[in-house]
Amino acid sequence: MKKILPILLLCIALYACNSKQVKVACIGDSITEGAGHEQQSKTAYPVVLEQLLGADYIVLNAGRSGATMLKESDLSYWNCKEISNVFTYKPDIIIIKLGTNDSKYHNWNQENFRDDYQRMIDTLNTIDGEPQIYLCLPVPVFETKWGINDSTLNYGVIPTIKDIATTNNLSLIDLNTIFLTKPEYFPDAIHPNEKGAEQIAIVIADKLKNYK
């Protein structure tokens, strides 16, 4: 019995270590938060993502409606409590989906967007364990609203994010191309409905399946 007990304790410790959940933090704006959903606590894409990934993962919805990557804007993510929540959470994986609100005419500045995006990556890399960061290309804009427009998104935001992903050797998740022919998922031309959010979660979950 005395010999069995240490072995049993070691097995329990190894199980606890191996069963540790992978923490995922989803940084974003209203599209991440789940704006427009009747029950965003159940249907926002980070919630669905957690369900798709299974029991080995836990996902934090760190989306803030209206938020931008730009520090100088009408609502900078840098000034929101959600970024502090991410640091407190200490995730293993971070999904960044910002850029839609940056495209607003009164917000957009390509040089500042590039610099602030790089600063965000550098800042998130200071989290213990250096989380694995994924950059998302924003979903399409089917109609100009609230200053959000497809021209700035397509010719400014998206190329800049692609360049940043290449420069930092980070994985890129294309949430733009796959939805170009799916306007029915975006009833207000900007925000995905529940079905659209589910599809976003499916794409991201597929990208994370090779996480180690």
User: Domain of 113: which CATH number?
Assistant: 3.40.50.1110
**Beta pairing partners, 60:** 25
Q: What is the pLDDT of residue 9?
A: 40
Q: What is the pLDDT of residue 212?
A: 62
Question: Going residue by residue through the chain (212 aa), what tens digit of pLDDT does each one get?
Answer: 454 444 434 343 433 444 589 999 999 999 999 998 988 889 999 999 999 999 999 999 999 999 999 999 999 999 999 999 999 999 999 999 999 999 999 999 999 999 999 999 999 999 999 899 999 999 999 999 999 999 999 999 999 999 999 999 999 999 999 999 999 999 999 999 999 999 999 999 999 987 76
Q: Specify whether the CB–CB gap between 136 and 173 falls below 8 A.
A: yes
Euclidean distance between CA atoms 162 and 127, whole angstroms: 23
Please check whether residue 114 lies inside any domain of the structure: yes
Please check whether residue 12 lies inside any domain of the structure: no
Q: Token pair for residue 30?
A: 């209203």
Q: What is the pLDDT of residue 161?
A: 98
Q: What range defines the domain where residue 75 resides?
A: 21-208
> In whole angstroms, how far apart are CA 110 and each of 9, 39, 75, 102?
56, 35, 17, 9
**Beta pairing partners, 97:** 28
Please check whether residue 29 lies inside any domain of the structure: yes
Please check whether residue 6 lies inside any domain of the structure: no
Q: Specify whether the CB–CB gap between 174 and 137 falls below 8 A.
A: yes
Q: What is the pLDDT of residue 19?
A: 55
Please check whether residue 30 lies inside any domain of the structure: yes
Number of CB atoms found within 10 A of residue 57's CB:
19
In the chain, what's the furthest Cα-to-Cα distance? 73
Please check whether residue 10 lies inside any domain of the structure: no
> In whole angstroms, how far apart are CA 140 and each of 60, 62, 99, 173, 194?
24, 21, 11, 14, 16
Its pTM surpasses 0.75: yes
Q: Report the number of distinct structural domains present in the chain.
A: 1
Please check whether residue 11 lies inside any domain of the structure: no
